[in-house]
Structure 1
Amino acid sequence: MFIALLAPELIVGQAYEQKKQAKLVHNTWCAHFNIKPGSPEDKMGIEGAFFVVMGGFVVNEDPEAGEDSEKDNFTWHRSLTSKGFLNYLSKNQIPLDAINKRVIVDKGKADIVAKFLVCLQALWMVIQASARKASGLPITVLELHVVIQVMFVLITYTQWGYKPLNANEPIILSIEGEIGVTSARTFRKVGKNENSFLEILDSIEANWERSPSNGWVVIGAAVITGVAHASAWNYPFPTHIEKVMWRVSSIALAAPSMYFSVSVVSETVRKVTRKYSRVDELDTGKGSWEDSTLYSILTVAFFLTSVPLYILSIIFITVEAFISLRKVPLRTYDSVQWMDYWPHV
């Protein structure tokens, strides 16, 4: 919740990647058993695929010798990653009846109706702000900030519409035959800090190594965040200093995209070079651009400047959105007449 408040674009990036992985798992499952997606024979469904991506399936044998070990606030669980699940599936070690989406849906704490009501309530905030703008009434900085957050929530819900919500208990998955050699790609290491800011950054950057297109989603969302907040460029603020700081912070919100753009562009160039280059780097004796000292220096410099600047900027914008209410135009307290008669919660 805290990360969604301060960095909604990261959550959008995570949601996009998880939906992409869920589609891959679901399509692979259906192709493996020669099942048409969405048919009555499809017992997994997209809900079950999301549960796989969430790490909701655990195996009945510990990959580590002995009891579960705890170290640095983490615990090794027997939670399968999506790669590990597909690996066992390709070896015919997961039977068709091992997954039932009805059981998975039952574990969720919200159905489609509850999610629809949440989206409807969030959409009402957007309609309310749009109506005030169309009527010539002033919009406060807090309203603008909330509308931006709401838009990201709606985008996230489009990606997580079929994802089970708050499913706390995993499902034991029986693996037929030997589990074999385990690795970090097969089992997930989860613990108290799995949803931390740095963990999400590491996850997003790792996903970009497989598909740079995922990175452009976060970069685009970061730029949209900055531009949307910059729309309050000429809004009335309590003091001139606060207005200037808001403008600077709005521009700085897109700062992390500078760091991530280097990673995405570099990864894209590397893949294109490997695909079309006629000379193997190993044969020339030259290292890749990612291994150079200059690349390391630039990457560290971008990270150490853009990320702290982004954190400070979003903290200021969040705080300023509330404290700016101490001095607002008088017409802020007026409401659109027709909205007073429209039933809403």
Structure 2
Amino acid sequence: MAPLNSTLPYNASDLSGLSHGWMPQPQGRGTFSILWSGITTIFLCSWTVLCLNIPEPGMGRWGFLGYKLRWQLFAIIFPEVIAGMAAEQWASANQSVQKFRKLGYPQWTMRHAFFADMGGFMLESPDVPPFPVDGEQLAYLIERKYLQYPIVHEETIWDRNKADGFARLVTSVQITWFFIQCLARWAQGLSLSTLEITTFATIVATLNSLYFWYHKPLDVETPIILRTDSRIANILIDAGDRAREPYSRTPLDFLKSPPVRTSLVAPFWFGMGVVVNFEEESRSRPIRRFGNCKTRPPAGITIQETIYGLLFEFVYFGIHLVGWNQLFPTRAELCLWRVSSLVLLGLLITYLITIVVGIVLSRPVSRRWLAREVDTPLEVAAQLPRWAQLIIHVPILSAYLSARAYILLEGFISLRDLPLKTYVDITWTNFLPHL
């Protein structure tokens, strides 16, 4: 009988080197299986789990497809930001549920809260064009009798949900299987391709997004109209001084959540807005939809949530360091991988230090140098001139995009020469107890 390794396209007794070129499938693992598994997993992670807010009315099917494709590209480049966005939306929805319970409405669930914060309820009044109201604003209107509690059952909300249960199931099975395979290969000392390392990090972010967006409807395109007989002008007069300033988004801006001092996501969105204005809300005032990156928890973020966010970020960026001693096709590619991994981790550390320093210095700096005294780094940054904002944010975003782009690109170009251990299958029987 011929030995098993005689069927392999390489010498199974010496796995210390690199393969060259396209590796055919030996017993189930070759270049194609690595490439296909990585591509399908990244696609599923960036598409089926992406729960976006209700789009602009009248966008149409093709417009909505383009809208989601743009966010899918963003999710591939910034999966950790998507996870952070989902976490803050979850915190906001959770606080909304607690608020409604205090008002005597225990039937208000996480699904209702997510639906409200994603622009699911449009307020129609006699004197102002319809505009969306979030959970905090809805609770205010109900508490002060401007609006009756909307009798909307969970099933009604879920009927608007376009989630394909089978697609979600396929995604869950795929990422779970991929996750287990990676852990098993590490346990047995087998190599992972750089594409698999990048995909594994994406899965870690996606699992967080799946958890935090579990109750959020997917691909809802039409809101529910709530009608009030109260004039918006009277609501603003009753609110007093806090409602006197002109609004920037809707007449109920005076109820918007204050800047969160410890938010890990808000500074990123501010920088993106300075450089590329990634998501522009409707130009009409009041706006007709809520931007995906605008949700802020009304009561802020707890210490426990902040600690979890920090741990998640370090785990996500730290995964790329697994490839530190990987065999690369060239020395230059190894150096570029190491530099890119350190740049991403270094930017995270710099980002966190900047937030801490900004929190401490915001008040004295704004009192001495700026037009008015503020409490948060974002409020200080918002008062800086445009050129100063660009000087701060363009180099940071450019460094991040360069490092992230190289890591994504290297996952594909390194497939031409992979470590031979990458093609060895897992011996699953080694994980079974031996009697």
Q: Distance in 2 between matches of 1:55 and 1:86?
A: 14
SS of equivalent residue, structure 1 residue 173: strand
Offset, 1:305:
2.3
The equivalent residue for 1:162 is 215
| Number of aligned residue pairs | 305
Distance 1:98 1:206 in 2: 24
Give 5+ residue unaligned stretches, structure 2.
1-71, 237-245, 257-271, 281-290, 430-435
Matches within 5 A, 1:181-260: 181=236, 183=247, 184=249, 186=252, 198-199=278-279, 207=296, 211=300, 221-257=312-348, 260=351
TM-score (norm 1): 0.74
Instruction: Tell me which of 226, 230, 233 is aligned to 1:173.
Output: 226
Q: 1:269 aligns with which of 342, 346, 360?
A: 360
1:241 and 1:60 map into 2 onto residues whose CA distance is 61
Q: Report SS of the residue matched to 1:253.
A: helix
Structure 2 counterpart SS, 1:147? helix
Q: Distance in 1 between matches of 2:112 and 2:390?
A: 39
Report if aligned partners of 2:125, 2:229 keep a CA contact under 8 Å in 1: no
Q: Tell me whether 1:316 sits opposite 2:406 in the alignment.
A: yes
Q: 3-state SS of the aligned residue for 2:225?
A: strand
1:3 and 2:67 equivalent?
A: no
How far apart, CA to CA, are the structure 2 residues paired with 1:146 and 1:210? 35
Aligned partners of 2:419 and 2:359: how far apart in 1? 49
Letter in 1 for 2:84: G
- Determine whether 1:135 maps to 2:188: yes
| Percentage identity across paired residues of the two chains | 24
Distance change (3 Å), C-alpha of 1:161 and 1:116:
farther
| Distance in 1 between residues matched to 2:293 and 2:301, nearest whole Å | 10
Q: Which runs of 5+ in 1 are unaligned?
A: 37-41, 66-76, 275-280, 340-345
Larger radius of gyration: 2
SS in 1 for 2:418: coil
Given that residues 328 and 417 in structure 2 are in contact (C-alpha distance below 8 angstroms), is that contact kept between their aligned partners in structure 1?
Answer: yes
Pairing 1:299-314 to 2, within 5 Å after superposition: 301-314=391-404
Q: Quick one: structure 1 residues 286 and 99, their matched pair in 2 at CA, closer, same or farther if it must change by over 3 Å? A: closer
| Alignment match of 1:110 (pick from 163, 167, 188) | 163
The residue matched to 1:59 in structure 2 has which SS? strand
When residues 333 and 219 of structure 1 are mapped into structure 2, their CA distance, relative to the original with a 3 A threshold, is same
Q: Which has the higher contact order (CA 8 A, sep 6+)?
A: 2
Give the equivalent residue in structure 1 for 2:113.
Answer: 49
CA-to-partner distance for each residue in 1:20-56, whole Å, 9 max, x for gaps? Answer: 1111222212221x244xxxxx1x3110100011111
Inter-CA distance 262–240: structure 2 relative to 1 (3 Å threshold): same
